């Protein structure tokens, strides 16, 4: 497996120089049903049970975050909320009506991020030139 990239020209806003950079391109979006099927291959759950577990996980995480909790998912990630708000001039004027938007942050663990650093990359053009492969496959 490899992360796919393309070469793209980018201009440096500071000095105007133009250089080529690798830009990651997703092969495709993998939906919840396919994730559930893959999860079922790794567990004793059947695909429908895995799909239900994922759906329920979403509900539980939302409920916990709305309850003021942070959520740790094993040793790979944690979720917490932050807000964007308007400022108030005094502590007395500062209240929940200042909140403009709630954001959910996902922070990945160091081992998870280290694992992602050990990744192979493949140029998208190379995928099209592999023997036996047609353009658009």
Q: What angle do CA 115, 121, 123 make, to 5 degrees?
A: 165
The neighbour count for residue 50, using CB atoms within 10 Å, is: 22
pLDDT at residue number 130: 59
Q: Are 78 and 107 in contact (CB under 8 A)?
A: yes
For the chain, which ranges sit under pLDDT 70? 128-137
pLDDT at residue number 135: 45
Q: Where are the domains of the chain?
A: 3-10+30-87+96-128
Architecture of domain 3-10+30-87+96-128: Irregular (4.10)
pLDDT at residue number 133: 52
* 77, 89, 123 from 135: Cα distances, Å: 37, 61, 14
pTM of structure: 0.75
The neighbour count for residue 36, using CB atoms within 10 Å, is: 21
């Amino acid at each position: 497996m490899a992360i796919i990239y393309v070469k793209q020209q980018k201009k440096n806003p500071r000095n105007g120089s133009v250089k080529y950079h690798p830009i990651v391109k997703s092969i495709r979006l993998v939906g919840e049903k396919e994730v559930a099927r893959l999860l079922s291959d790794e567990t004793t759950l059947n695909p429908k049970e895995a799909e239900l577990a994922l759906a329920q996980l979403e509900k539980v995480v939302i409920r916990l975050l709305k309850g003021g909790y942070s959520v740790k998912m094993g040793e790979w990630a944690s979720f917490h909320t932050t807000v964007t708000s308007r400022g108030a001039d005094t502590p007395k004027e500062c209240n929940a009506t200042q909140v403009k938007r709630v954001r959910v942050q996902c922070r990945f663990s160091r081992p998870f991020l280290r694992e992602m650093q050990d990744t192979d990359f493949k140029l998208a053009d190379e995928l099209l030139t592999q023997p036996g492969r047609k353009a658009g496959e």
